[in-house]
Structure 1
Amino acid sequence: MRWWVKSAPDQHAFDGLDAVFQLQGQVVSDGPMGDVVRLHRGERTFFVKRYRNGGGHLHNWIGTPRVQREWRNLDLFRRWGLPVPEVVGAGFRRRLGRFHQGALITVGIPDSTDLATLARSGAACLRDRAWVATVSDQVADGLRVMHARGFCHGDMKWRNILVTGTPPRVFFIDCPAGRFWFGPFLHYRVIKDLACLDKVAKHTLSRTQRLRFYLRYTGHSRLNDADRRRIRKVLRFFQGRE
């Protein structure tokens, strides 16, 4: 078994996978992979993501389990200067060589909401051009940092971007699918990341706001021919799959 935990209030509650899987709290999500529980300890909120599956049949036996990929990627983002929740505990265990269970514990971001929730609720902030521009710039800058290193998020959806504070600050979360790519594989994955973001943006933001995001992401002042070709691929990516 691999397990580590930082100092935290009521630390014995996080002292090993057995203790973590006995925790009771508000269930945020539940599914075949595992569940996410929200806990309050002292003045802080913690999110406990508990895995019962390694991330597919192959990853249950060989390779890196999903939970390990997630905490490694969050650490990568932190080292690249991207804002992410603080990880205070993580680990997993195998039984007879097969992934058995794992967990990731992060500190909650106060007064934060994910972008997908804001979009579904028709939040007033999305009609504030200055607010949208500030958030859009941060997302574009973060994505450019990842892609410039050959890394793609793999699940760059609005639900995986938290926003908090005034002025707003963006935090990237939930990235177990992220990995490094190269050549044509990198090109395809870059398109996918951009298309995942635009899947909601096209229903929520104006064309001008979407164009502003793309130009910020590329660092260009105007579109060139390569940009236009890429944008066409982004727009076609989910055609027939929505």
Structure 2
Amino acid sequence: MRTIWWINQDYHDSEFAKRFPNFTIACKADGEELANNKMNRVVKLTLNDKHYYLKHYFRAGRNLRKYIGTSRARREWRNLRHFRELNIPTPEIIAFGESRIPRKCKPGILVTKEVSNTDDLANLARNNDPRLRDKDWLLSIIKQVAKYTYTLHQNRFVHNDLKWRNILVTNTKIPAVYFIDCPAGRKALWPFLPRGIIKDLACLDKVAKYQLSRTMRLRFYLEYRGIQRLNKNDKRIIRKVLAFFAGRE
């Protein structure tokens, strides 16, 4: 068995590096458990008053991906780095590791630093947060999410899980947006890119249709496209977005 353990060079002398010098020890990390399922577990670590999120993938993916192809941890590591290259805010990556076992599952780990004073949009929706009815605050969020989503799509990248729970916003008067959790994202070739774009937009609208007015949802699309009015092609795209999850909710 061969293991890989990479630590951000800015953290080589940190308490994190001292506590978790290799992949095997990191797999045994103990902290506040936030999630635990067949695919992965998520643990919140606190070291010297700094908080980190350790995501431990038990396998590379579903079906054949458990045995062949890139591990889920590596895909997310690459994707978050790609976001930064595109100037899309995302949590700082602290460490990445994986175990390479031929013809077997590929467990992996990704560690990110906590973005302080934030909440995810899905949690705001569940709690009926009044900011979702604050026009100025909401427009700021809409413009940022639209800009970052358009940037991904212009670079032929589809997120594949662009849901409200995967978007962080800062609890500040002028909010900042961060994209998180993207193990399923990938560059898409032309035959698959249009459907991937529709899926991303539909994922965003899945909660938006219950939380936002039709005017605000339209405003998001106009911001995303950088236009003032819809044309026939835009209307066709919107119909596909609205129909994407029909009968599957």
Q: Indicate the residue corresponding to 2:84 in structure 1.
A: 78
**In terms of mean alpha carbon deviation, does 127-136 or 54-63 score higher?**
54-63
CA-CA distance at 1:18 after TM superposition = 1.5
| Deviation for aligned residue 1:9 | 2.4
* Corresponding residue number in structure 1 for 2:212: 205
| Distance in 2, Cα, partners of 1:79 & 1:13 | 29
Identity %: 45
Amino acid at match of 2:226: G
Q: Flag the 1:100–1:226 CA change in 2: closer, same or farther, 3 A.
A: closer
* Structure 1 ranges of 4+ moved more than 4 A: none
Structure-2 residue corresponding to 1:151: 157
TM-score, structure 1 as length reference: 0.97
Is the counterpart of residue 175 in structure 1 residue 177 in structure 2?
A: no
Match of residue 117 from structure 2: 111
Residue 3 of structure 1 deviates from its aligned partner by: 1.2
Q: Counterpart of 1:155 in structure 2: which amino acid?
A: D
CA-to-aligned-CA distance 1:170-200 (integer Å, 9 cap, x gap): 0000001111113231111100000000000
Amino acid at match of 2:190: G
2:5 corresponds, among 3, 6, 14, to 3
Aligned 8 A contact 1:5 1:14 in 2 = no
Structure 1: tracts of 5 or more residues without a match: none
CA drift of 1:22 comes to 1.6
Please give the residue correspondences for 1:85-124 in structure 2 after superposition, counting only pairs within 5 Å: 85-124=91-130
Corresponding residue SS for 1:197 = helix
Alignment of 1:18-57 (within 5 A): 18-57=24-63
Name 2:166's counterpart in structure 1. 160
Give the aligned partner of residue 223 of structure 1.
Answer: 230
Q: CA RMSD in A?
A: 1.1
Contact 1:13 1:23 in 2 (8 A): no
Structure 1 residue 165, shift from structure 2 partner: 3.8
Which residue matches 1:189? 196
The residue that corresponds to 1:130 in the other structure is 136
